[in-house]
């Protein structure tokens, strides 16, 4: 069934999509737990899931380009100012001579500042990551991991930028969940410690999931 799901995922992936075949394979492995018949597969629409993942990839790429353009603009402005000062014939400022003791104290102070800044940045990053984890706790692992991977490489210059990003993630999550619910698919978040049921039996949790999808009270065991 996984191969059939994977083929449908690939057929619904737009030509200009940035979603990799590896991500599609992970999605197929997850959907295999819930889509157990050709009838369910026929009703499933994966377009919104692919679009949501694409959106997060594209948002991250656009942010990276914007950051580089901002840094480039600042470098160009600094260069223009330096050139202007040079054309005026202004001499460079003379360096202040420090004693060895003063230089040692200054170096230690700079190291302390850098250490404090690193600790502050780490604490803030962990706090923000926990907020994103909380937001995505009910979503499938492959969906959550895709967003977390882009989050870990993102850079937020202010709390406002992070809040804007968090709202974007929440919107993407809601769109994903709504589409899956419309398709009759319920996705409890899988745990790495949960073992998959043997091929010749259906777990109670899976039975409940299948019943909620098919609106029936009886389910045949998969072959």
Rg (the chain; Cα; Å):
26
Whether residue 91 is contained in a domain is answered as no
Whether residue 111 is contained in a domain is answered as yes
The separation between CA 183 and the C-alpha centre of its own chain, rounded to angstroms, equals 24
Per-residue pLDDT, 217: 34
Residue 104, pLDDT above cutoff 80: no
For 63, other C-beta atoms within 10 Å of its C-beta total 17
| Residue numbers of the domain that contains 42 | 2-82+103-214
Q: Residues 136-189: pLDDT tens digits?
A: 877 777 777 778 877 777 777 777 888 888 888 888 888 877 777 777 666 544
How far apart (Å, rounded) are the C-alpha atoms in residues 48 and 46?
Answer: 6
Whether residue 219 is contained in a domain is answered as no
- Of 8-12, 44-48, 188-192, the range with the lowest mean pLDDT is 188-192
- Dihedral sign, Cα of residue 44, residue 46, residue 2, residue 209: negative
DSSP 7-62: HHHHHHS-TT----HHHHHHHHHHHTTT--SHHHHHH---HHHHHHHHHHHHHHHH
Whether residue 128 is contained in a domain is answered as yes
Per-residue pLDDT, 90: 59
Look at the pTM and tell me if it is higher than 0.75. Answer: no
Residue in the structure block whose two tokens are 């202040």: 96
Q: 74: closest CA among 157, 160, 161, 153?
A: 157
Tell me how many domains the chain contains.
Answer: 1
- For the chain, the average pLDDT equals 69
**Is residue 128 within 8 Å of 156, Cβ to Cβ?**
yes
Whether residue 98 is contained in a domain is answered as no
Per-residue pLDDT, 221: 39
Residue 73, pLDDT above cutoff 60: yes
Whether residue 118 is contained in a domain is answered as yes
Residue 192, pLDDT above cutoff 50: no
Q: Residues 14-62: pLDDT tens digits?
A: 777 777 788 888 888 888 887 888 888 887 777 777 787 777 666 665 5
Whether residue 155 is contained in a domain is answered as yes
Whether residue 222 is contained in a domain is answered as no
């Amino acid at each position: 069934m996984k191969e059939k799901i994977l083929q449908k995922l690939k057929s619904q992936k737009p030509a200009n999509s940035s979603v990799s075949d590896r991500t599609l394979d992970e999605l197929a492995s997850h959907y295999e737990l819930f889509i157990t018949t050709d009838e369910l597969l026929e009703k499933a629409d994966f377009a919104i899931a692919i679009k949501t993942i694409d959106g997060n990839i594209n948002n991250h790429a656009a942010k990276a380009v914007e950051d580089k353009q901002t840094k480039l603009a600042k470098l160009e402005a600094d260069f223009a100012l330096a050139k202007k000062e040079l054309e005026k014939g202004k001499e460079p400022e003379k360096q202040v001579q420090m004693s060895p003791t003063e230089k040692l104290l200054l170096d230690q102070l700079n190291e302390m500042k850098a250490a404090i800044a690193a600790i502050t940045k780490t604490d803030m990053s962990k706090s923000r990551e926990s907020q994103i984890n909380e937001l995505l706790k009910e979503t499938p692992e492959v969906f959550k991991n895709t967003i977390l991977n882009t989050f870990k490489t993102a850079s937020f210059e202010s709390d406002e930028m992070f809040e804007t990003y968090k709202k974007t993630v929440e919107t993407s999550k809601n769109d994903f969940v709504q589409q899956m619910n419309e398709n009759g698919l319920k996705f409890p978040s899988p745990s790495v410690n949960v073992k998959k049921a043997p091929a010749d039996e259906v777990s109670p949790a899976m039975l409940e999931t299948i019943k909620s999808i098919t609106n029936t009270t009886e389910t045949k065991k998969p072959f």
